[in-house]
Structure 1
């Protein structure tokens, strides 16, 4: 007798070789199937999420303010999970697209500072009510975002005050990266090396060294965070 079909999570990636990383691993372990779409390569996005248990939009080297067709299409598409009140998570670029969709602003730091490496964050009172947050997170961004109206701030950092938020019951955005496997981080450090000279960025050795210290706590947070957003499908 065939088993029950796994509920699907829509996964939106932005490069040919991008991966859902640990987010994908955790979702699969929790009983979901991944429906991977790459809009920059021409993949369509569904008109409804009736066939999905939720969606995750990942990061990428582009800006949420770029005028590329797929950036505008994705940003407009966020009306679907919001209108249908389906679980949605935006990571870095995905969070910035959500902010733009909600009428907020995405822009660089006023003094040109970036966050590339490991940086401390602090949960707000609302964030602490939800769960325990890591002290340090991995960042790789040159732009941040304002807090959309009616959104609830969950975590903050010194240079970029808006690090995590919830909008409504089911839409979530985070600026930092908990999805990187060790192999992914090594790839980012090699391919992004020219950015390590930017103001506030950390050298590549500190990215990998920090992982040995802080990654276990970040992964534990991610496991709990994904269950809080998407739940776990009923077994059987």
Structure 2
């Protein structure tokens, strides 16, 4: 049985709807907690490693020293071109590991909106055409050298990029699960209230948009895994 290694920065930000897809494909899933567990086995894993989101910034290494090791291990993983998906903070870590600047954005992007997909012959994210996705970030990044831009939003030009077939970085949350979204609303309540975001509206939009997003996420993940001969 193949294993997916997952690096987690926040307990309730897990694989979400993607977890069911992996189980259906007979993968095992092993989680690592950043800042607590040794991330070396996850970063040196020859199969797929997924780096999830979290509320800290990649540049906050003085307060969160584990980020230095995480970035260094990730640099070597990307050099070795091992299958890697980064979501939100995970995407920012990939950008930094590839030498791009990561920094605070001009405003927080929290809520659902559609992406502007790049007109590419084979855009991995084409299943998201006209489907709102969940954004939940305040930081952004420059596009790394040799990266292929896949998608933008109205607020931020760099929402997704790939490097070859193996590396996929997503600023938005492809993995969000309709059933577990209430965890986000509880866990991020301070951020939501400080930014004057409507919790009832976010809850309503979750019920409205997430079923379509889950279907599209399944298609995208299957396409990614097939390209890399992981299934």
TM-score, length-scaled by structure 2: 0.87
**Which residue of structure 2 aligns with residue 164 of structure 1?**
160
Matched, 1:121 2:119: no
- In 2, Cα distance between the equivalents of 1:40 and 1:144? 22
Deviations 1:57-96 (CA, angstroms, capped at 9, x unpaired): 0001111111122211111111343233221100000000
Matched, 1:61 2:67: no
Give the 3 Å change call, closer, same or farther, for CA 133–190 of structure 1 in structure 2: same
Between stretches 59-68 and 39-48, larger displacement belongs to 39-48
**Which residue of structure 2 aligns with residue 140 of structure 1?**
136
**Which residue of structure 2 aligns with residue 204 of structure 1?**
199
Segments ≥4 residues shifted beyond 4 Å: none
**Which residue of structure 2 aligns with residue 109 of structure 1?**
105
CA contact under 8 A between 2:149 and 2:160: conserved in structure 1? yes
CA contact under 8 A between 2:13 and 2:53: conserved in structure 1? no
Matched, 1:93 2:94: no
Deviations 1:145-169 (CA, angstroms, capped at 9, x unpaired): 1111111111110111111110122
Matched, 1:191 2:187: yes
- In 1, Cα distance between the equivalents of 2:214 and 2:38? 30
2:158 is paired with a residue of what secondary structure? Answer: coil
**Across the two proteins, how many residue pairs are aligned to each other?**
224
Displacement of 1:217 in angstroms is 1.9
Displacement of 1:55 in angstroms is 0.6
Displacement of 1:17 in angstroms is 5.3
CA contact under 8 A between 2:160 and 2:169: conserved in structure 1? yes
Deviations 1:23-60 (CA, angstroms, capped at 9, x unpaired): 2222121221112111311333226323xx21100001
- In 2, Cα distance between the equivalents of 1:108 and 1:24? 30
1:173 is paired with a residue of what secondary structure? Answer: strand
Q: Which runs of 5 or more structure 2 residues have no equivalent in the other structure?
A: none
- In 1, Cα distance between the equivalents of 2:13 and 2:209? 23
CA contact under 8 A between 1:150 and 1:167: conserved in structure 2? yes
**Which residue of structure 2 aligns with residue 3 of structure 1?**
none
CA contact under 8 A between 1:59 and 1:94: conserved in structure 2? yes
1:154 is paired with a residue of what secondary structure? Answer: strand
TM-score, length-scaled by structure 1: 0.86
CA contact under 8 A between 1:49 and 1:84: conserved in structure 2? no
Between stretches 74-83 and 123-132, larger displacement belongs to 123-132
Q: Bigger radius of gyration, 1 or 2?
A: 1
- In 2, Cα distance between the equivalents of 1:190 and 1:158? 27
1:159 is paired with a residue of what secondary structure? Answer: coil
- In 1, Cα distance between the equivalents of 2:219 and 2:48? 16
Give the 3 Å change call, closer, same or farther, for CA 196–35 of structure 1 in structure 2: closer
